[in-house]
Amino acid sequence: MTQLHEFVTYLKEESGFDRLLPKLIERYRQLGRIGGSVKLTHLQPNEKMAFTTFFRKDYTHQSSATISFALFEKALSKTKYAHLEIKDILEAYAGEKLVTKMEEKEQYELQKEAFFHQLIDENPHAARWLHFVKNKGRGTRFLHSLYDENFQLLRTVIQHVCQALKQLPRGNRFERLPFFAQKITKNPHAFDLDGEQGKALLHALQFHLYEKGEISFIYSQLTSEEANDILQSFHLLRDDLLNFVTCIGLLGTTSKGDYELFQAANREQAALNLPLREVVKLTTCRPIMGNAVFIVENSGVCATILDRWPFPEPPPLICTHGQFKLAALLLIDLLVKENVTIYYSGDFDGEGLQMAQRLKKRAPEHVKLWRYSLKDYQHCISNKDLENERLSRLNMIDLPELMEVREEMINQKKAGYQEELIDELIHDMKIIC
C-alpha cells in the first residue's frame, strides 16, 4: 500500500472528515487552485475529535470551524505524509481526476461548439438559423436548455426541423401540419406546437420571416392564432376548417362553373365564413357590383357596416379577423387576378400598420390603403398606450405612404382604432360602390 493510499484510507475511515474533504474538493474546483478555506457549522463530536487530533488544536468547545488549505497543509507537514501533494490527496479521495469549474466550462463550450458546427455542416441550407441558435439569438433559450438536459434529443429535434425546412410546400400547394410531420418524421404529432419539435419549427420559420423583414421580433411564446399565422406563411395548416375568411358581396367560379354558395349568400344577404378548403376550389373571384372590394380586419367593424348597409345589394366586403389567414390571402390573390381594386382598412398600431404594409407590398398596383392618413389617425387616436414591443414593430414600416402616420404614432405612443372611423368607412363605400 502506498503512503497516498494509506493516508486516504485513514481519511475515509475517520468519519470526522466526511464533510471536510468534499468541501475542500469543491473549493479547489471553484478556485481552480489550492487555496482559500471552507467553513463547517454545527460540528459533531466525531468531527471535533478528528480535527483536534489532526490539526493539533482544540476544537472540542467549538460549534463551527473554518479550515483553510494552508492549515491543512501545515498539519500534513507534521506527519509522515508531509511529502504528499494536496491535489493528489483530493483526487485519490474523490477517486477521479479533479476538473476545475473553469476547465469544466471550457470543455462544455468546446463540446457544444462542435455539436452545432456538425449540425451546420450537415445542414447547409439551414446554416443561418443554426448559427443564430448557436449564438443564443432571441427565443433560443429553450433549445439551449434542451441541450443541457439531453443533447442527443436536441440533435434529433434540430435534424427534423432542418429536414422540414428543406421540404416546405412550394408554390400554391399547402399541407396540413400532421401530414407534413408524418412525411418528415413518421410521426403525425411530431410538430405539435406544445412539443419541443413544434416549438423549434416555429422558431426556425419565424427566423426566416425575420430575415426577410416580415416580422420585427422572434417570439418565445406565441398565441394559437400567431402560431397559425406563422405556419400558414409557409403553407402549413393546422386546420383548414378553422382557417377561414368572412365575406359578402362576391361572385366566383370553380372548375364546375359558377360558385353557387356565393350566389345563395348574396340572395340571402348573408355573410359567409368561407374555410380554406372552399377557397381553394375557386378559380375566379370578383365583386357583385363595381370593381372594388373592401377589406377590414375587425369583425365588429364588419358587422356594424353590414348593420348599417342599405340592402338589398350586399357590399363587396371581406373581414380577416385579425392577421391574414391563408384563406384570406388566396381570396385576395384571386381578386387581384381579376384586376379588382382592393381597399384595406385596419387599426393604427404596430400590427395594423404591418398588415397594411404587407398587403400593399403583396399587390402594390391593386391595393389602396383606406383611411390611413395622419388626419384619420388623429381622429381615431385612443387613450391606450402602445407598449414598447408594439412600438418596436413600427420600426419595420418602410412604406412611403405610411411614414407620416408612423412617425406621429411613435411620438404619441397611442393606438388608434377603426371603430372611430365607421361613419367615414361607410361613406367611402357608398361613394365607390
pLDDT > 70 fraction of the chain, expressed in percent and rounded? 99
pLDDT of residue 68: 94
Q: Does residue 1 have a pLDDT over 80? A: no
**Per-residue pLDDT band at 320 (split at 50, 70, 90):** very high
Residues 6+ apart with CB under 8 A from 194: none
What is the pTM for the complete model shown?
0.60
Q: Does residue 148 have a pLDDT over 80? A: yes
Q: How far apart are CA 326 and CA 1, in angstroms?
A: 78
Average pLDDT over residues 255-280: 93
Average pLDDT over residues 289-314: 94
Q: How far apart are CA 46 and CA 368, in angstroms?
A: 87
Give the burial class of 363: count Cβ atoms within 10 A of its Cβ; 0-12 exposed, 13-18 middle, 19 or more buried: middle
The CA-atom distances, in angstroms, between 382 and each of 174, 357, 379, 414, 424 are 39, 22, 9, 6, 17
Q: Does residue 219 have a pLDDT over 90? A: no
pLDDT of residue 388: 82
Tens-place pLDDT, residues 224-264 = 778 888 998 898 987 666 789 999 999 999 999 999 999 99
pLDDT > 90 fraction of the chain, expressed in percent and rounded? 82
Average pLDDT over residues 276-297: 94
pLDDT of residue 387: 84
Q: Does residue 428 have a pLDDT over 90? A: yes
pLDDT of residue 170: 86
Q: How far apart are CA 221 and CA 303, in angstroms?
A: 31
pLDDT of residue 347: 94
* SS3 label, residue 383: strand
Q: Does residue 427 have a pLDDT over 70? A: yes
**Per-residue pLDDT band at 375 (split at 50, 70, 90):** very high
Higher pLDDT, 242 or 11: 11
pLDDT of residue 239: 67
- What count of other Cβ atoms lies within 10 Å of the Cβ of residue 20? 20
Average pLDDT over residues 315-319: 97
Q: Does residue 159 have a pLDDT over 80? A: yes
Please spell the DSSP secondary structure of 218-261, one letter per residue: --SS--HHHHHHHHHTTTEES-TTTSEEEEESEEEEETTEE-HH
**What interhelical angle do 69-77 and 86-94 show, nearest 10?**
100
**Per-residue pLDDT band at 376 (split at 50, 70, 90):** very high
pLDDT of residue 30: 92
| Unique residue bearing C-alpha cell 359558377 | 258
Higher pLDDT, 395 or 158: 158
Q: How far apart are CA 423 and CA 284, in angstroms?
A: 31
pLDDT of residue 43: 94
Average pLDDT over residues 31-53: 94
Strands 244-248 and 236-237: unpaired
pLDDT of residue 200: 97
pLDDT of residue 240: 61
pLDDT of residue 371: 96
Q: How far apart are CA 230 and CA 111, in angstroms?
A: 33
Q: Which of 346, 348, 345, 352 is nearest to 415 (CA)?
A: 348
pLDDT of residue 39: 95
Q: Does residue 420 have a pLDDT over 70? A: yes
pLDDT of residue 221: 85
